[in-house]
Amino acid sequence: MIDNTIFTNKKVVYHTLGCKLNFAETSAIGKQLADAGFIKARAGEEADICIINTCSVTDTADHKCRQAISRLHRLHPNAKMIVTGCYAQLKPDEIARIEGVDLVLGANEKFDMLSYLDETKVTSGSKIRRGDILKVKEFKPSVSHDDRTRYFLKIQDGCDYYCSFCTIPLARGHSRSGTITETVKISREIIAQGAKEIVLTGVNTGEFGKRNGEKFIGLIQALDEIDAEVRFRISSVEPNLLTEEIVRFVAESKHFMPHFHIPLQSGSNAVLQLMKRRYSTEDFAEKAAIIRQYLPDAFIGVDTIVGVRGETDALFEESVNFLKILDFSQLHVFTYSERADTKMLEIEHNVAIKERKRRSDLLHSISDEKTKAFYGKQIGKSAKVLWESKRDGDVMHGFTENYVRVERMYDKKMVNMAEKVTLGEWNADKTALVIG
């Protein structure tokens, strides 16, 4: 049994990199430590413990993690440095060699953080505690609350897809999730804390319930029965798992917003095959058309990756042509980065770094055009805006049901409040619409 008295008033600093899943998990760790007596260090205070939750989706992510470790070590030279997350799971020895690192915890071990913070165990000299993530079956739910108004609720973890470019299964293990009953309970708790919007997040959200006989559609149906003023958003669903039943339900629901985030990755069927994806461009176009059928004004965000091995000039052009005709609202563009232990490294054709950047820039320009067109169609329409807490000079911002960013003069009383407005023209820097 751990003697929590040794933690009382110990100061801790958290640093999180990567996806919303990581932020939710850091929040769960923070609650565990706060309950044990730790306090969060204020700006300028030297911490006793530094906890870094890492990402490893690209080489750039790895570099940012190393930079963060070095920076925190300079700021808190006497603190115990604990590094966890995807980078720690994939490359623990590499992290352990960085100056200042005391302990490296694997992706699952981070949820037992408290046991590793016992001073009898955290001695000088780095240590690695990393189990076989592929053997982990237990799901650990977690919630984060950003500086806006929304909460991010982790409902699923891991992935069974093994796409050729991706290390997520190696970093987070097999797909697993909570139960409908558990997820509804947590949702009710954070609504009671003041949540007005909850984003359902995971690695492969559509696989919710895969191992316990439940389904994602059952989850969203149960959440929709909650009697409260709350919005739900679905963070990301694989195209092959986004069914017409789900779309139709969102269109008819009380709480789920007309907002879909769907990973496409490439507009070329040949590249999709190289990536080991489970759908074609024709399948994807059909899903987009179904969304527009039931929800003409829905926001559709699309993920793409440029510069993967095997993506020739001709195949990239094919992808661009598909994206130009596809009806979506915004692209999230990722530049391919080689990852160890992935099948894509076996593909001979390699895209030069400079060319990857050029392709990324081109897709970003297509995204800008699509977003402006989508926003333009919303001007003059009535919408309900949930206003966020952050103040930007004299203005504040919020989002409509279909994720249009709106600007108004700052009013403290409107924070976390929903307001029915008529959408006007663009603001001065064309980052949001104003109230008409």
| Tokens encoding 199 | 């984003």
Mean pLDDT of the chain: 93
| pLDDT value of residue 357 | 97
Poorest-confidence range of 77-86, 113-122, 228-237? 113-122
259 φ, ψ (degrees, to nearest 5): -150, 120
Is the pLDDT assigned to residue 119 strictly greater than 80?
Answer: no
Burial class (CB in 10 A: 0-12, 13-18, 19+), 428: exposed
pLDDT above 70 covers what percent of the chain?
Answer: 96
Strands 259-265 and 299-306: parallel
- The pLDDT score that the predictor gives to residue 145 is 81
Number of neighbours of residue 9 by Cβ within 10 angstroms: 8
**Mean pLDDT, residues 158-166:** 94
Decide: residue 249, CB within 10 A, 0-12 exposed, 13-18 middle, 19+ buried: middle
Q: How confident is the model at residue 187 (pLDDT cuts 50, 70, 90)?
A: very high
Tokens linked to 330: 């915004």
- Which burial class, exposed, middle or buried, applies to 366 when counting CB atoms under 10 A from its CB (0-12, 13-18, 19+)? middle
Q: Which range (135-139, 197-201, 221-225) has the least confidence?
A: 135-139
Residue type, position 368, single letter: D
pLDDT at 120 over 50: no
160-164's contacts with Cβ under 8 Å and 24+ in sequence apart are 160/204, 160/207, 160/210, 161/204, 161/238, 161/276, 161/278, 162/276, 162/343, 163/265, 163/275, 163/276, 163/277, 164/274, 164/275, 164/276, 164/342, 164/343, 164/344, 164/347
Looking at the chain, how many residues does it have?
436
- Specify the pLDDT at position 126: 65
Contact 290, 180 (CB under 8 A): no
Euclidean distance between CA atoms 345 and 394, whole angstroms: 50
pLDDT at 161 over 60: yes
pLDDT band for position 1 (cuts 50, 70, 90): very low
pTM of the full structure: 0.91
Please check whether residue 237 is in contact with residue 261, taking contact to mean a CB–CB distance below 8 angstroms: yes
pLDDT at 20 (0 to 100): 87
Name the amino acid, one letter, at 394.
Answer: D
- 56 contacts 90 by C-beta, under 8 angstroms: yes
Amino acid found at 288: A
